[in-house]
Structure 1
Amino acid sequence: MKGNNDTSNKILIIDDEEQILKSIGELLQRAGFDCITASNSTSGLALLQRERPLVVITDLKMEEDRSGIHVLEQAKDIDPDAVVILYTAHGDVSVTRDAFKKGAFDFIPKVVQTHHDILTPVERAFRFAKIQRENQLLKSQLDMDEKTSFYGAVGSSQIMLDLFDQVKRVAQTNANVLITGDTGTGKEVIARGIHHYSKRADESFVPVVVSALPESLLEGELFGHIKGAFTSATSDKAGLFEAANKGTIFLDEIGEVPLQTQPKLLRVLQERKVRRLGSVQERDIDVRIISATNQDPIKLIEKDKLREDLYFRLNVVHVHIPPLKARKEDIPVLAYHFLKKYRNVGLVEVEKISPDALFILQEYDWPGNVRQLQNAIESAIAVATREVIRPEDLPEPIRPSQKRVFLDAAEDADFKAAKDRVVKSFERQYLETLLEKHHNNISKVAQEANLNRKSIYRMLESLDIDIRKK
């Protein structure tokens, strides 16, 4: 089977058994991989040198030929970033450990139960290999391209490139902007960027976290007051809208503005005038309003927490920032952006992120979004003892627990027994999670797991899970 010049999906398979070589090659080709094959280690390593596949899969023990360990060692000499999977019918724990120490990515047993036993580790290996190559590229391009950044926001996914293009155009207008997105996605960063690229850039940017102000003080802070307006008003004070005159005011968490204050805010937006508390005098203001919320504004309207007319005034232009888990291709470029920012905060100057660590970062779901990733990189740099961030430098919640399970399982067992333990552990955790989620409703568990009810009952019995006790 011949490959083409595109290495993005190319895999090299080495085995001296023709039938196995053919069957694995056909399986992977049907799955969309570009396969090249070799029947011995010498020709396989020559193909690796010439074709530079992303992933290599090789038999551990070949008749009258060098072993898979030799292929692994030579592959690493040719390409230190080579991603090599070994497969074998022999379950020797010492050989397995030696292979992992020398850089093997994974092991696959020759006697597999389903196609997924081969496809799953191969797909994971390709994800890792692509992250590794992207890591190399990013390391050489620590200064972000103008196209992939907007003020302090960074992203290379199409959705973020489109967003950057949108806000750069919007910045040139005076239109009010409503920014929505989960907590930690960078709503204030985008707001500051809009101000920075606007004609108001030389004037004030005034951020207001609405929820941080007590309801009794909010109006006085926003609109100002005159002396004697209330007990503690010992002098006249300009409000934040006046402070932002000619510039931009950013109202964060706009959904927290009390209903009784919303008509006054609406009037400011409509009339472009503000009246201090206790005063009858109106003052003209020229302010651009950017607001933000981590809630769905339509649902806030339905719950009578946000006036519809105020929403329409605020939402002249709507910008939505997607959560980080919806744009994981942005994680490497963000990680290196924060590496550049914090590289000197630790005991050593950190230069790069290891492929293993970057792989973990991309596999994590980031409930705290970009802010959580920023904190994770800063934390990793603070504890790093080398010039590279390694998996053990990452905060504990981010590091996957599965790796520790595998090592424990393999400690005193051969490959097949260790794998059986890991699989059973996964099946138990997976089923118990679904059972708890669906309150032991087997039909719903089967539906979500995409299995039939008989299979679920069979697994419950084999794992000795008694739902009557739950």
Structure 2
Amino acid sequence: MKLMGDLFNNRGYIDGITIIDLKGEILFTAKFNNKLNCDNCENYEIVGKNFFDVYENLNRDNSTIYKAMELGVPIYIDSQILKSAGRKEIKISSLSIPIKSGKKIVGAIDLSISEEDETNDDYIEISSETFEKNNVDKLSNVGNRAKYVSDNIITNNKKMLELKDYIKIAAGCDLPVLIYGETGTGKELFAHAIHNESKRKNKPFIAQNCAAIPENLLESILFGTSKGAFTGAVDNVGLLELANGGTIFLDEINSMPLHLQSKMLRVLQDGSFRSIGSKELKTVDVKIITSINEEPLKAIAEGRLRKDVYYRLNVLNINIPPLRERKDDILLLVNFYISRYNKIFNKNVKYISTDLCERLQQYDWPGNVRELENIIAYGVSVVDKSKIKLEFSDIKQRFDELIKMNGNDEVNIESLNDMVENYEKSLIKKVLMQTDNNVTKASKILKIPRQTLQRKAKQYNLI
């Protein structure tokens, strides 16, 4: 026994059966059979009629049931449109199977499921077009090579489209690039795209997160070591030499120790450096792309970024807006991630509820695109294989956890009148205390009539 899980969008049932003979006469139907469909007792008898007279948009070339009889094999189609006379179009998935009597084909049976109830105002249809054009899962990450290109940056946002255009400018010269963006905005994606747009695209692309390596190891990893530099040290090539001729991407450079930043300053100036323990001055030809996940001027003021390094890096800069400032991209990204995780989890989500879409639009996404991807991946992973709709209820638990984790719990906000009254009361109380409850002196300080102050003080039970 084999379960046919892939048929009918993993729904596990059908709601239509049609049997015809070689002449096209309908011998049996379940979709409009009142004995089988008690919820719709409309009398719409089609048995005895010609198949093409009933379904006016079909012919011998596009009808699966006719093709099954003609070819003698079962034919399955996903999302076929049916239009019967005097009725609205419906969308079905169907399996047409030829019927034999002895060795002769005498007709065919069509098993189908209707999807017309899904396309209403409560749901938005998911398109896989963006995913098929930008399926990054098909991209290979071979050795020290950049994986992504500018087309993999999914956006319709005006600011983001301008940044995509700027990639060509940043890639067209050897000047360093500083990419600023909050965590999860896609800084490394831009770094890959810049390299792949440049003349260095066939040369090494080396990426290193400066926050991921302990301070005492980062220097040796970047600049390499010379034998005898310290106990157990051997000649070891650093990342700068590995990137020679290509690009090095230093992510979160604000996490790099300041003394290493000063050493990087020399590399930025003329490409020269010394490995640890070596007297030899080495030179590399490398394009340097760096990223920072906080405002650069704030990092400078708080001692996490050297000002001279910033000026060297900030010749070309890319400032990626957070997702909360480009919410017009949310539905596009949701389309992409649902299509992606449908393939990964073998699901068939085709619709997203408008309620879920509105919730996603209302949230501020402190974790940006990465956080959105995670919540969609979770939703697709937990939704039943027989479902083709993603609802808010599917992600509610994880969504509530995110809100709580990010400190965005709903709070009771006072009305403006209450806030004004509370402030007025505290101010009057403070001035009365300063003047030993002398209403005349207090009214002069507050610059209001004595009678008004006396009335308000009594109102607030202050005198």
| Structure 1 match to 2:152 | 152
Q: In the alignment, what sits opposite 1:388? A: 389
Please name the residue that 1:172 is paired with.
172
* Residue 351 of structure 1: how far off its partner (Å): 3.2
Q: CA deviation at 1:395?
A: 4.8
Larger proportion of helix = 1
Q: Distance in 2 between matches of 1:230 and 1:372?
A: 43
- The 5 Å alignment of 1:310-325 reads 310-325=309-324
**2:413 match:** 430
Change (3 A) 1:79 1:357: farther
Asked if the contact 1:344/1:350 (under 8 Å) is kept, the reply is no
Where 1:353 maps in the other structure, the secondary structure is strand
Change (3 A) 1:309 1:431: same
The residue number in structure 1 matching 2:289 is 290
**Measured at CA, do residues 298 and 140 of structure 1 come closer, stay the same or move farther in structure 2, by a change above 3 Å?**
closer
Alignment-derived partner of residue 14 in structure 1: none
For residue 229 of structure 1, what is the amino acid of its counterpart? A
C-alpha separation between the residues in 2 aligned to 1:192 and 1:168?
12
The structural deviation recorded for 1:364 is 1.7
TM-score, length of structure 2 as denominator length: 0.57
Shift of 1:184: 0.8
Q: What is the alpha-carbon distance in structure 2 between the residues aligned to residue 141 and residue 221 of structure 1?
A: 38
Check 1:238–1:335 CA distance in 2 against 1; reply closer, same or farther (3 A cut). Answer: same
* Secondary structure of the structure 2 residue equivalent to 1:238: coil
Conservation of the 8 A alpha-carbon contact between 1:178 and 1:319: yes
Give the 3-state SS of the residue equivalent to 2:414 in structure 1: helix
1:265-414 equivalences in 2 (<5 Å): 265-346=264-345, 348-385=347-384, 386-398=387-399
8 A contact 2:379–2:390 mirrored in 1:
yes
Q: CA deviation at 1:254?
A: 0.7
Q: C-alpha separation between the residues in 2 aligned to 1:276 and 1:369?
A: 38
Native 8 Å contact 2:126 2:350 kept in 1:
no
How far the C-alpha of 1:143 sits from its partner, in A, is: 4.1
CA deviations over 1:397-417 (Å, ceiling 9, x no partner): 43699xxxxxxxxxxxxxxxx
Q: Quick check: 1:138–1:332 contact (8 Å CA) kept in 2?
A: no
Matches within 5 A, 1:177-188: 177-188=177-188
How far apart in 2 are the matches of 1:137 and 1:322? Answer: 25
Instruction: Confirm or deny: 8 A CA contact 1:346 1:384 kept in the other structure.
Output: no
Cα distance in 2 for partners of 1:394, 1:197 equals 38
Q: Decide whether aligned partners of structure 1 residues 302 and 140 sit closer, same or farther in structure 2, where only a CA change above 3 A counts.
A: closer
Give the C-alpha shift of residue 208 in structure 1: 0.9
Q: Provide, for residues 187-206 of structure 1, a one-character-per-residue CA deviation record: whole Å limited to 9, x for no partner.
A: 11111111121111111111
Q: Deviations over 1:271-296 (max 9, x none)?
A: 21231111111222111110011111
User: Which residue does the alignment assign to 1:418?
Assistant: none
Structure 2 residue aligned with 1:251: 250
Aligned counterparts of 1:368 and 1:217: Cα–Cα separation in 2? 29
Aligned counterparts of 1:434 and 1:186: Cα–Cα separation in 2: 43
Partner of 1:208: 208
Whether contact under 8 Å (1:207, 1:251) holds in the other structure is yes
Cα deviation for residue 388 of structure 1 reads 2.5
Q: 1:180 Cα shift? A: 0.5
Distance in 1, matches of 2:343 and 2:132, equals 16
- Aligned partner of 1:74 in structure 2 is none
Unaligned runs of 5+ in 2: 1-86, 91-116, 136-148, 403-409, 427-459
Q: Which secondary structure does the structure 2 equivalent of 1:378 belong to?
A: helix
Q: Tell me if the contact between 1:259 and 1:306 (Cα under 8 Å) persists in the aligned partners.
A: yes
Evaluate the alpha carbon distance shift between residue 314 and residue 441 of structure 1 in structure 2; reply closer, same or farther with a 3 A threshold: farther
The alpha-carbon deviation at position 360 of structure 1 amounts to 2.1
Structure 1 residues 204-228: Cα deviation after superposition (integer angstroms, max 9, x where no partner): 1111111111111111111001111
Q: 1:443 to 1:212 in 2, by over 3 A?
A: farther
Amino acid at match of 1:380: G
RMSD: 3.7
TM-score by structure 1 length?
0.56
Q: Structure 1 stretches of 5 or more lacking a match?
A: 1-76, 81-101, 106-128, 402-425, 446-465
Q: Note closer, same or farther for the CA distance 1:315–1:395 as it changes in structure 2 (3 Å cut).
A: farther
Q: CA deviation at 1:359?
A: 2.4
Shift of 1:337: 1.6
CA distance in 1, matches of 2:193, 2:153: 8
Q: Alignment partner of 1:319: what SS?
A: strand
Whole-Å Cα distance in 2 between the matches of residues 316 and 227 of structure 1?
37
Please say if 1:197 is aligned against 2:197.
Answer: yes
Query: Which amino acid is the alignment partner of residue 210 of structure 2?
Result: V
Q: Aligned equivalents of 1:443 and 1:246: distance in 2?
A: 68
Distance (whole Å) between structure 1 residues aligned to residue 226 and residue 319 of structure 2:
38
Q: 1:251 to 1:140 in 2, by over 3 A?
A: closer
**Is structure 2 residue 236 aligned with structure 1 residue 237?**
yes
Partner AA of 2:317 in structure 1: H
Looking at structure 1, the residues matched to 416 and 150 of structure 2 have their Cα atoms a distance apart, in angstroms, of 41
2:273 match: secondary structure: strand
CA distance in 2, matches of 1:218, 1:444: 58
C-alpha separation between the residues in 2 aligned to 1:141 and 1:153?
A: 11
Instruction: Check conservation: 2:180, 2:293, Cα contact below 8 A.
Output: yes
Aligned residues: 293
Pick closer, same or farther for the CA change 1:363–1:256 going to 2, 3 Å: same
Q: Distance in 1 between matches of 2:289 and 2:227?
A: 30
